[in-house]
């Protein structure tokens, strides 16, 4: 689990830091059947706690997570807060609540039988103007 992984700190290269600290996952169809947004929030909180403990005494880092709809994955990573930004090439909404990110990926993607179809319930039904990203200072 993430608790045992080394945390890469590279205040000179945000992309190296972000890619080295990246975790991503997506449940298979059988695994997603009993999944809830609340359980996902609990899991992410456990990951943040483990990362915070691992960072004890190190410079401040930003933990951030988002739904990558193209890969159907929840992704999370860490970057030094000294960068003053997150490493995205698109517009982001860094004030998204963790529960909202979890609810979106569980209900709109992982448990959505219409995912991948076109039409009112498909992924192209509503295009966000910016990517919702949950951010926490560790």
Residue 89 pLDDT more than 80? yes
Beta strands at 131-137 and 92-93: parallel, antiparallel or unpaired: parallel
**pLDDT, position 47:** 92
Mean pLDDT, residues 94-117 taken together: 88
Please say whether the beta carbons of 96 and 137 come within 8 A.
Answer: no
In this structure, of 11-15, 32-36, 115-119, the range with the lowest mean pLDDT score is 115-119
Please say whether the beta carbons of 62 and 79 come within 8 A.
Answer: yes
* Distances 17 to 25, 85, 104, 127, 129 between C-alpha atoms, Å: 19, 13, 27, 29, 26
**pLDDT, position 136:** 95
**pLDDT, position 82:** 94
What Rg value do the Cα atoms of the chain yield, rounded?
Answer: 15
Residue 2 pLDDT more than 70? no
Domains of the chain: which residue ranges? Answer: 2-137
Q: Positive or negative CA dihedral for 41, 66, 75, 29?
A: positive
Residue 117 pLDDT more than 80? no
Where do runs of H (alpha helix) occur along the chain?
14-20, 29-32, 37-54, 98-103
**pLDDT, position 3:** 56
- pTM for this entry: 0.85
Residue 93 pLDDT more than 60? yes
Q: How confident is the model at residue 23 (pLDDT cuts 50, 70, 90)?
A: very high
């Amino acid at each position: 689990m993430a608790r045992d992984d080394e945390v890469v700190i590279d205040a000179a290269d945000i992309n190296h830091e972000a890619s080295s600290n990246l975790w991503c996952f997506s449940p298979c169809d059988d695994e997603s059947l009993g999944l809830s947004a609340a359980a996902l929030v609990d899991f992410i909180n456990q990951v943040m706690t483990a990362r915070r403990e691992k960072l004890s005494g190190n410079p401040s880092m930003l933990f951030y997570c988002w739904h990558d709809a193209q890969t159907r994955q929840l992704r999370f990573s860490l970057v030094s807060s000294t960068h003053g930004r997150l490493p995205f090439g698109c517009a982001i909404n860094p004030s998204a609540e963790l529960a909202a990110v979890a609810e979106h990926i569980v209900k709109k993607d992982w448990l959505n039988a219409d995912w991948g179809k076109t039409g009112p319930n498909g992924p192209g039904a509503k295009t966000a103007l910016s990517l919702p990203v949950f951010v926490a200072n560790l």
